[in-house]
């Protein structure tokens, strides 16, 4: 196999394993514990809470796994976040859809004052 293909297969395997582990821990294990009836009340309460809230937070784990395991997504994510740097929001560039297609600098404060006056 080519080196690139091996690297992609390794990344995919790691990502799929990391996506499977939370599903097993938060969905399958609590159901098994709950159905076994051999544990005490405290463990049953924890299993009940895991069965209640576990499926609700699983999509978060899936998204974070993809964002932080795959380098291309990780680079784009940190580029969007700019690693703590605050972007300049005073001016924004608006693309005109007319035939002229000029770039226009618009002051954000003016836009809000015009919209609020209307």
pLDDT tens string 46-57: 888 888 888 888
Which residues is 91 bridged to in the sheet? 107
What pTM did the predictor assign?
0.51
Residue 53 near residue 96 (C-beta atoms within 8 A): no
Q: What is the DSSP string of 54-86?
A: HHHHHHHHHHHHHHHHSHHHHHHHHHHHGGGPP
Q: Angle of helix 29-36 relative to helix 41-69, nearest 10 degrees?
A: 170
Quote the percentage of the chain above a pLDDT of 70: 69
């Amino acid at each position: 196999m080519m080196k690139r293909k091996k690297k992609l297969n390794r990344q995919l395997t790691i990502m799929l394993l990391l996506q499977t582990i939370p599903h097993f821990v938060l969905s399958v294990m609590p159901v098994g514990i709950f159905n076994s009836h051999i544990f005490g009340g405290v463990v049953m309460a924890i299993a009940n809470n895991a069965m209640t809230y576990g499926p609700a937070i699983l999509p978060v784990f899936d998204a974070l796994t993809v964002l932080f395991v795959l380098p291309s997504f990780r680079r784009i994510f940190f580029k969007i976040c700019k690693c703590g740097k605050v972007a300049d929001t005073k001016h924004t560039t608006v693309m005109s859809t007319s035939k002229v297609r000029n770039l226009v600098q618009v002051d954000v404060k003016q836009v809000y004052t015009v919209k609020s006056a209307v």
